A and B are shown apart, each in its own frame.
Chain A
Amino acid sequence: MNMTLRAMLGATVSLTLAGAALAETTITVATVNNGDMIRMQGLMDAFNAKHPDIKVEWVTLEENVLRQKVTTDIATKGGQFDVMTIGTYEAPIWGKQGWLVSLNDLPADYDVDDLLPAIRGGLTVDGNLVAAPFYGESSMVMYRTDLMEKAGLTMPDAPSWDFIREAAEKMTDKAGEVYGICLRGKAGWGENMAFLTAMSNSFGAKWFDMDWKPQFDQQPWKDTLTFYLDLMNNYGPPGASNNGFNENLALFQQGKCGMWIDATVAASFVTNPKDSTVADKVGFALAPDKGLGKRGNWLWAWNLAIPAGTQKEEAAKTFVAWATSKDYLALVAEKEGWANVPPGTRTSLYANPEYQKVPFAKMTLDSINAADPTHPTVDEVPYVGVQFVAIPEFQGLGTAVGQMFSAALAGSTSAEDALAQAQAMVTTEMTRSGYIK
């Protein structure tokens, strides 16, 4: 008994001790479980053929888990990853901290000047490219061409908010379960606040003035929120306060939305006849404006970055350069067709006559170009970021404010109260964080 027990325990302990031996060129890549990333994992043979000495170990996680893990790791210098997939929100913050390896010395055939200027601008810190964009997106209006025609209207390429309101009113047919407009209402800095912050830019609103004072008590934010609530309460679907991207996608695919303003990546889903009942009746337009010079569209990209301090910088760079190169785009096009190429990063992709045949290609490009993360608002602001503010505190602030606005949409508070609460909460936090002296 004694001996067997001991032997058993010994076996377990030595089993646990025998971790996998690290090959010299294994790089660990943390990535998000979006379609484009999953597709890349299926195409690794091409990379391995070119670089047999580099083995890529994937860690694929759901977005929130990923963000939390890579942030903990990089902030504590845990050194668990050699390549991290990060958003445009993290890149400038981490770049400023010096946590990311500069990618200025990628090989010449990477052709850094080919990157879309808006995307590149958001990833450049003090002249250093700190992350290489893998795919980029903006937001735009997707609308039902048939319903628009029925309403006797024509969607301009660059509509105004007033037109959207008019169209929403005319398209709404509540008895027939058709709602003029579907917008995000679910609370979260990447959910309703992504939409509302981008929308507020076009209304001339901003999160902070040059002294980092919150601006929710100002008229432009009141106009934004009132307009949004009015739109949603009169012409939106029921239960909108819990609708995020996926929920609205389902509604639109089932033909229940006249218009939907959301990520450009949705275009490929709503035009896919396999899932969408309205695939052949979708038109695209730029996100609306208010005539103030800014449109209400955001800018986001998932990017590959290399944490400073990794032992395998060279291998990591080789991988990043490959994954975000023109050749990779060509590879995906060859294997999976042009519509599946990761969009929104390179000018040359949009100049390609093959890619121009994709129905939403042009509007995606125009939308991305219409966003400027370094000058997101009508007035001057001290921050970078279109639908977010690139400061560490924003994730928490955005989510908290998002919950207040979501409650206003659900009808449990008024617009004024929600704004007043937001103003008070953000002021406290910003004072505490030392922005407001």
Chain B
Amino acid sequence: MSRKTTATRQAVVTVAAWTIGFLIFFPILWTIILSFKSEGDAIKAPLDVLTSTWSLESYHEVQERSNYLKHFWNSVVLSLGSTLLALLIAIPAAWSMAFVPGKRTKDLLMWMLSTKMMPAVGVLVPMYLMFRDFGLLDTRIGLVVVLTLINLPIVVWMLYTYFKEIPGEILEAARMDGANLRSEILYILTPMAVPGIASTLLLNVILAWNEAFWTLQLTTSNAAPLTQFIASYSSPEGLFYAKLSAASTMAIAPILILGWFSQKQLVRGLTFGAVK
């Protein structure tokens, strides 16, 4: 009896989970399917779409029209560069906040987070003027700086919550053994913090990859990442579903694959200190 209910229950759970998972994933799947259709077929009813011929036409067209590799490479440099820079600044900050907390540490953290609430559009013109004056328009370095600053609060916070879970006694023990501050961070803390750092890194690569306001506004061609590549495939004239699907697939595929492969690492540190 009991075994039977478990079996039934597992069947129900399996069906439910697969159905829901499929529904959530469906928009992405459908986009991928449409990208292998011709423009004329892509607007047909779903069943007709599935039975129509498959083709690489849209990919050819997208490839001909835009320099995917350039945009892709810019996305890689921007997201990775900004994340590493943010980690470099955030690790010491988060360390000291976690292990030498002051009265104002919490407030400081919250203030950092609140800088993320400034609506980007509101400061576009000042930013554009500053970028112009510093010669940073359409440069990767300029965008790396902006993306770093945008994500810094989240990075600090994620690391802070992770570091806080590292027991202080270990550090004290190390200190007794005569470890100085530097070796304390390097040899004791860092290894313990690697999973947290890894998932922070992943989350921020994703956030930076998908940032679509500044990357679109402050670049033209040299530093333009995939967000700009997408901006040329929605058209007010004529059919565009297949081309848009192909471009979308190309834009999200790299990060999707990275995300899938690293989901274990991503999840491990994604607790923001909420799990004890």
Contacts and interface: CB of A to CB of B under 8 A. Distances in A.
Chains A and B in contact, CB within 8 Å: yes
A412 interface: no
B118 to A, nearest CB: 18
Given A12-B84, A16-B77, A80 B236 contact: no
Interface majority SS (helix, strand, loop, mixed), chain B:
helix
Contacts of B66: 60
A34 B65 CA distance: 12
Contacts of A16: 77-78, 81, 140-141, 144
Contact of B220 (A19, A30, A274): A30
B140 A61 contact: no
Interface residues of A, number: 44
Contact of B190 (A1, A57, A62, A79): A1
B138 A80 contact: yes
A8 interface: yes
B231 A34 contact: no
Nearest to B140: A16
Contacts of B238: 35, 246, 249, 269
Contacts, number: 103
A76 interface: yes
22 contacts: A9-B85, A12-B80, A12-B85, A17-B140, A28-B221, A33-B233, A34-B235, A35-B238, A59-B221, A59-B224, A60-B232, A61-B228, A62-B235, A65-B231, A69-B220, A73-B128, A77-B132, A78-B128, A79-B137, A245-B236, A246-B237, A275-B239
Query: Which among A34, A80, A275 has the greatest number of chain B C-beta atoms within 10 A?
Result: A80
B131 to A, nearest CB: 8
Interface string B96-129: 0000000000000000000000000000110011
Given A9-B84, A35-B238, 5 more contacts: A16-B77, A33-B235, A38-B65, A59-B221, A69-B220
B55 to A, nearest CB: 15
A275 B228 contact: no
Contacts of A351: none
Contact of A76 (B85, B128, B139, B190): B128
Query: Which among A1, A33, A73, A249 has the greatest number of chain B C-beta atoms within 10 A?
Result: A33
Interface in B236-268: 236-239
B234 interface: yes
B217 interface: yes
Interface string B205-245: 00000000000110011111000100111111111000000
B274 interface: no
B186 interface: yes
A128 B144 CA distance: 42
Interface of A: 1-2, 8-9, 12-13, 15-17, 19-20, 28, 30, 33-35, 38, 41-42, 57-63, 65, 69, 72-73, 76-81, 244-246, 249, 265, 269, 274-275
Interface of B: 40, 64-66, 77-78, 80-81, 84-85, 88, 124-125, 128-129, 131-132, 137-141, 144, 186, 190, 216-217, 220-224, 228, 231-239
Contact of B137 (A63, A78, A249, A269): A78
Given A33-B235, A59-B224, A274-B40, A79 B125 contact: no
Nearest to A80: B220
Contacts of B231: 61-62, 65
Among all A-B residue pairs, the 7 with the closest Cβ atoms: A60-B232, A16-B140, A80-B220, A33-B232, A12-B81, A65-B231, A16-B141
A275 B41 CA distance: 10
B79 to A, nearest CB: 11
Contacts of B234: 33, 62
Contacts of B232: 33, 60-62
Contact of B222 (A15, A20, A244): A20
Contacts of A245: 236-237
Nearest to A272: B238
A1 B232 CA distance: 43
Contact of A35 (B84, B138, B223, B237): B237
A25 B190 CA distance: 50
Nearest to A15: B77
Contacts of A79: 132, 137
Query: Which among B40, B78, B233, B236 has the greatest number of chain A C-beta atoms within 10 A?
Result: B236
A148 B232 CA distance: 39
Contacts of A17: 140-141
Contact of B81 (A2, A15, A59): A15
Contacts of B78: 16
Contacts of B80: 12
A9 B83 CA distance: 10
Contacts of A78: 128, 131-132, 137
Nearest to B234: A62
Contacts of B140: 15-17, 19
B81 A13 contact: yes
B220 A72 contact: no
Contact of B139 (A19, A38, A41, A57): A19
Given A19-B222, A60-B232, A76 B132 contact: yes
A28 B236 contact: no
A42 B222 CA distance: 21
A33 B66 CA distance: 11
Contacts of A61: 228, 231-232
